[in-house]
Amino acid sequence: MESTAKLPVASVVIVNWNGRDWLSHCLPSLAKQTFESFEVIVVDNGSSDGTSQWLQAEWPEVRLIPLATNKGFAEANNVGIEAARGAWIATLNNDTMADPSWLANLMEAAEQPGTGSVASLVVYWEHPEVVDAAGLVVDRAGIAWNRGHGEPAERYLTPAEVFGAPASAALYRREMLEEIGLFDGAYFAFYEDVDLAWRAQNAGWRCFYCPGARVRHWHSATGKRMPKQKLYLQSRNKLWTIAKNYCWPELLFYAPLIAGYDLMGLIYRTIGDRNLAALQGRAAALPGLWRKRRQQDRPTGSRLAPVTPPWRLRAGENSNGLSR
pLDDT score, position 316: 37
Using CA atoms, how far residue 251 sits from 197, 239, 257, 298, in Å, is 18, 12, 10, 12
Pairing mode, strands 206-217 and 115-124 = parallel
Q: Whole-angstrom Cα distance, residue 106 to residue 108?
A: 5
Average pLDDT, integer, range 44-59:
97
Q: What is the Cα 237 distance to its own chain's centre?
A: 13
Q: Whole-angstrom Cα distance, residue 290 to residue 285?
A: 10
Q: Kindly report the number of other CB atoms within 10 A of residue 18's CB atom.
A: 18
Domains and CATH numbers, the chain: 10-219 (3.90.550.10), 224-323 (no CATH)
Q: Whole-angstrom Cα distance, residue 131 to residue 43?
A: 27
Q: What is the Cα 69 distance to its own chain's centre?
A: 21
How far from each other are the two terminal CA atoms of the chain, in whole angstroms?
26
Among the listed residues 38, 90, 92, the one whose alpha carbon sits nearest the alpha carbon of residue 61: 38
Q: Kindly report the number of other CB atoms within 10 A of residue 56's CB atom.
A: 12
Reported as a single tens digit per residue, the pLDDT across 212-263 is 999 999 976 565 567 889 999 999 999 999 999 998 888 889 999 999 988 9
Q: What is the Cα 165 distance to its own chain's centre?
A: 7
pLDDT score, position 307: 87
Q: Whole-angstrom Cα distance, residue 269 to residue 100?
A: 40
Among the listed residues 289, 108, 301, the one whose alpha carbon sits nearest the alpha carbon of residue 210: 108
Average pLDDT, integer, range 182-199:
97
pLDDT score, position 321: 40
Rg (CA), the chain: 19
Average pLDDT, integer, range 122-144:
96
Q: How many helices (H) and strands (E) does the chain have?
A: 10, 12
Residues comprising the chain, all counted:
324
Instruction: Check whether 175 has a pLDDT greater than 60.
Output: yes
Which residue would you say has higher pLDDT here, 34 or 293? 34
Reported as a single tens digit per residue, the pLDDT across 260-280 is 988 988 888 788 777 899 999
Q: Whole-angstrom Cα distance, residue 218 to residue 262?
A: 28
pLDDT score, position 320: 42
Reported as a single tens digit per residue, the pLDDT across 138-158 is 999 999 999 999 999 999 999
H helix runs in the chain, sequence order: 20-31, 51-58, 72-83, 102-109, 174-180, 192-202, 227-245, 248-267, 277-285, 289-292
- pLDDT band per the 50, 70, 90 thresholds, residue 128: very high
Q: Whole-angstrom Cα distance, residue 30 to residue 206?
A: 26
Strand partners, 96: 217
Average pLDDT, integer, range 103-129:
97
Average pLDDT, integer, range 283-306:
79
- pLDDT band per the 50, 70, 90 thresholds, residue 288: confident
CB–CB of 233/321 below 8 Å? yes
Average pLDDT, integer, range 29-45:
98
Instruction: Check whether 2 has a pLDDT greater than 80.
Output: no
Among the listed residues 178, 190, 290, 276, the one whose alpha carbon sits nearest the alpha carbon of residue 228: 276
- pLDDT band per the 50, 70, 90 thresholds, residue 315: very low
- pLDDT band per the 50, 70, 90 thresholds, residue 317: very low
Mean residue pLDDT across the chain: 90
Number of alpha carbons in the 13 Å side-chain half-sphere of residue 215: 40
Strand partners, 124: 217
